[in-house]
Each structure stands twice: as structure tokens, then as C-alpha cells.
Amino acid sequence: MRIAAIGLVPDLTLQLAKLAAMSAGGKVIASYSFSLTRSDIGYLENIQPDILLFSGGTDGGNSRYVLENARKLAASSLSCPVIYAGNRAAAEEVVDLMPAKEVIVTENLMPEVGQVNLEPAREKIRDLFLKRIVSGRGLSEIVDLFGTPPQPTPLAVFELISAIPQYQTDWSDLAAIDIGGANTDFYSNTESYLETDTVILKGIREPKVKRTVEGDLGLRVSAHSLADSGWAYLEERLKGLGLEVERLRKHLDKIALDLDYLPQSEEETLFDRLLAETCVYYAALRHSGGWRETYTPQGRVYVQTGKDLRRVKAIVGSGGFLAASGSAETMRRPLQKLRTYGQERKLLPEKPLFYADRQYLFSLLGNLVGKYPKEATALAVALLENLKDED
């Protein structure tokens, strides 16, 4: 599901719009803050997203930008449904301004500054998503058979990750990583901020269950963009192992074209693993929050931005490379390396255990969570393979 996200301030409503889109299983293909320009509209018309998630302003707060943008969107040739999740006080006017568009109004993503309310918008995106899949792909027989539409993988995994701690009490704080050919998905289910006297949260308090999806990190279609985004990590690893950059480049050229390519030599296997580590490193970097230290007479104070993953006890490699390879090291090494990033201490799982969803069952079981939450979550954790260190 290709979603365009619109917010007002980049760090606030736009950030939340992106999070809501990703948590609903979508991919953010364009995002805008403040006023849409003519070229922004042109770009949107060109790419024709599946959904436009439109937010901005607290309830009773700013309405100028959403109204202005609504006018521009109304005049565009954009044909997708628009989910409006902005300032409630402007909702009716927004709908009136876009008579020719399908506008679905839902609760504000940020009713007050700092108050995060993603679930209603996520529901709406999910509904549209399922409706479209069912009608678009002739799956109505399946729906008749099972009583529910089949959920796309990211959505199913999200539902499963949300449900596991609820029904399997030993699994209270967990994360999952799915590295595919085109994207890397990172899921977490853990409290994002623990309030103490010495930690001050800045920016939004992120949701407990969160998914991020990185369209530039993947092992096949996105291999080149992965190398671009992840060069710093890759280069250091190559150097450490005494491998030649040129040979990696050749490998990249090969795999980016041949999407089903499987490594043919030890070297290629190693390259794939390095690329997977790079996916983990940057997906974790973007998903997790960090602390910066400041000194005051009371002692050290930490300023936190983003999500605290320190209490995550289990990390599951689900789907794609991580499920197949069953290597804890592919996850552990980049996470270890990421503990400090620039001036920041990254808030990564402190002592995680690593697991693999070897048979790739998370998305299937996620489909059953709605009806059989206890059974589906029990099966999901029972079938995980605990990964031991190989080196």
C-alpha cells in the first residue's frame, strides 16, 4: 500500500502521519509538511498514491495549513481516497473543500501537542487496504470461506506483535526484523519512554507498538540503495574482513537485477550477510531513539528523543533473510556496533535473546490473531527457534 503522508510540523504531525501509515502496513512514498507546493501536487499526481493520509494541527489549533492544502488537493487530479486525521475543528470545512474526493474523516493523530493517537487512522487505512485487496484481486471467495479477508504480511505481523505480549506473558517486550528484497521492516512492542527524574523526553512519545519500513534497505531490488544509504557500515566491515570493494560492487550489480538470485560461493554468502547486517544497522538506527547527556548540578540528565528499546528481551528474525539464515550474529553485531551513534547513546535492547521464525509463520499466524488470539500467539512463540551464537 503506497501512502502519501501530509502533516504540519515535520517533528510532530508529519512524523505521526508517517508512523500511522507504516503501522498500518503501508509504505510512505511521499511526505510533506507545511504548505504543498505546485510541484508537490504535480509529483503526487504523477505517482498516484493508494491513500493520502492528511493531518495537521491540534484539535482547535492550527487550521490554516490543512484548509490551504485541502484547496490545493481538491484542484488536483489525485484520485485516491483521503484520510483526514488533522485538527478536528477544521474537518467539516476540509470535507466541504474537496467535494469530488473521497474523504474519510477520523480522529486527530495529535489532539494535543505530545498526545499521540494513531489507532483510529490506522484502522481506517487498514480498512481501505483490505477492501482494495479483496476487490482488486478477486479474493471474495476466500473471504466467504474464512469470514475475514486475508491480511497482507506487514499488517498481519503487526497484529501478531501487538497480541503476543497480551496473551503470552513471558514475551512482554519484543521486536522483530524482516529483511526482504525491497524493504526492511522493524517492529517493536515495548513502552517507549520510562519517566524518571534524570530522563527528559523531547518530541513525541512514540506508540508502544510500532512498525517502521525502510524502502531503501533490501537485499535485492534495493541492493544499490542499500549500499548508498549504508556505505559507512559496509565499508568498515569490508575493511575489517579484508574484502575488496570492487567485488562487492559486482555482486550488487548481479543481485539487483536477478531478484531470485541465491549466493553461489562462500564469498557471495558472506556478502549477502554483510548486506543483511547493514539492513539491521540502519533499520534499527531509524526505529530506535537515543539519549544525549547534559550535566546539571543534580548530576547527569539525559535528553531522550524517539523510542526506548532497552527493555526488549527478544528479537525475532522473521521472514526473508533472517528467518532463512538463522544467524544471531547477523543481528547482534550491527546492534552492538550501533550502541553509540555520533553524540547519542542509542536506546537498543540491552540483553536480547535472538530468535528465528524459521518457517515464516508470523504473517500466517497474524491472520488468525483476530479470531484465535490465544492459540495463534502460543503457536507463534512455540515455533520460534532460539538462536545460539555461532562465533
Partner 1 sequence: MNQENRSNQKLEFRNMDQDTIILGVIGADCHSVGNKILELFFTAEGFKVLNLGVMVSQQEFINAAIETNAKAIFVSSLYGHGDIDCQGFRDLCLEKVLDRILLYVGGNLVVGKTPFEIVEEKFKKMGFDRVFPQTST
Using rule CB under 6 A, residue 136 touches ligand B12: no
Among ligand B12, partner 1, none, residue 63 binds (CB under 5-8 Å by kind): partner 1
Site for partner 1 in 188-207 (CB under 8 A): 200, 202-203
Q: Is 314 helix (H, G, I), strand (E, B) or coil?
A: strand
For 145, phi then psi, to 5°, come to -70, -45
Using rule CB under 8 A, residue 56 touches partner 1: yes
| Residue 252 and residue 221 in contact, taking contact as beta carbons nearer than 8 Å | no
Instruction: Give me the least distance between CB of 290 and partner 1, in Å please.
Output: 16
Please report where in the chains the cell 492528511 appears, as a residue: 54
Helix or strand run (H / E) with residue 346: strand 344-346
Instruction: Give me the least distance between CB of 197 and ligand B12, in Å please.
Output: 9
By C-beta, is 302 or 360 nearer to partner 1? 302
Using rule CB under 6 A, residue 298 touches ligand B12: yes
> Which of 64, 247, 250, 374 touches partner 1 by CB under 8 A?
64
> Which of 296, 342, 351, 382 touches ligand B12 by CB under 6 A?
296
State how far the Cα of 70 lies from the Cα of 91, in Å rounded to an integer.
10
Using rule CB under 8 A, residue 304 touches partner 1: no
Helix or strand run (H / E) with residue 199: strand 199-202
By C-beta, is 202 or 371 nearer to partner 1? 202
By C-beta, is 206 or 272 nearer to partner 1? 206
Q: Is 96 helix (H, G, I), strand (E, B) or coil?
A: helix
By C-beta, is 62 or 172 nearer to partner 1? 62
Site for partner 1 in 102-121 (CB under 8 A): 110, 112-113
State how far the Cα of 269 lies from the Cα of 77, in Å rounded to an integer.
47
For 33-156, list the strands marked E by DSSP.
51-54, 82-84, 103-105
State how far the Cα of 117 lies from the Cα of 231, in Å rounded to an integer.
36
State how far the Cα of 99 lies from the Cα of 316, in Å rounded to an integer.
46
State how far the Cα of 364 lies from the Cα of 159, in Å rounded to an integer.
11
State how far the Cα of 55 lies from the Cα of 83, in Å rounded to an integer.
8
C-alpha distances (whole Å) from 52 to each of 35, 118, 190, 283, 375 are: 15, 15, 28, 24, 36
Amino acid identity of 296? T
Instruction: Give me the least distance between CB of 145 and partner 1, in Å please.
Output: 46
State how far the Cα of 275 lies from the Cα of 37, in Å rounded to an integer.
37
Among ligand B12, partner 1, none, residue 19 binds (CB under 5-8 Å by kind): none
By C-beta, is 112 or 244 nearer to partner 1? 112
By C-beta, is 58 or 377 nearer to partner 1? 58
Using rule CB under 8 A, residue 13 touches partner 1: yes
Instruction: Give me the least distance between CB of 296 and ligand B12, in Å please.
Output: 4
Q: Mutual orientation of helices 231-241 and 245-257 as an angle, nearest 10°?
A: 130
Kindly give the pairing relationship between strand 314-319 and strand 385-386.
unpaired
State how far the Cα of 161 lies from the Cα of 251, in Å rounded to an integer.
34
> Which of 99, 147, 240, 297 touches ligand B12 by CB under 6 A?
297
Among ligand B12, partner 1, none, residue 352 binds (CB under 5-8 Å by kind): none
Among partner 1, ligand B12, none, residue 284 binds (CB under 5-8 Å by kind): none
By C-beta, is 35 or 294 nearer to ligand B12? 294
By C-beta, is 34 or 360 nearer to partner 1? 34
Site for partner 1 in 271-300 (CB under 8 A): 294, 296, 298
Q: Residues interacting with partner 1, by CB under 8 A?
A: 8-9, 11-13, 34, 56-58, 60-64, 89-90, 110, 112-113, 200, 202-203, 294, 296, 298, 301, 303
Q: Residues interacting with ligand B12, by CB under 6 A?
A: 296-298
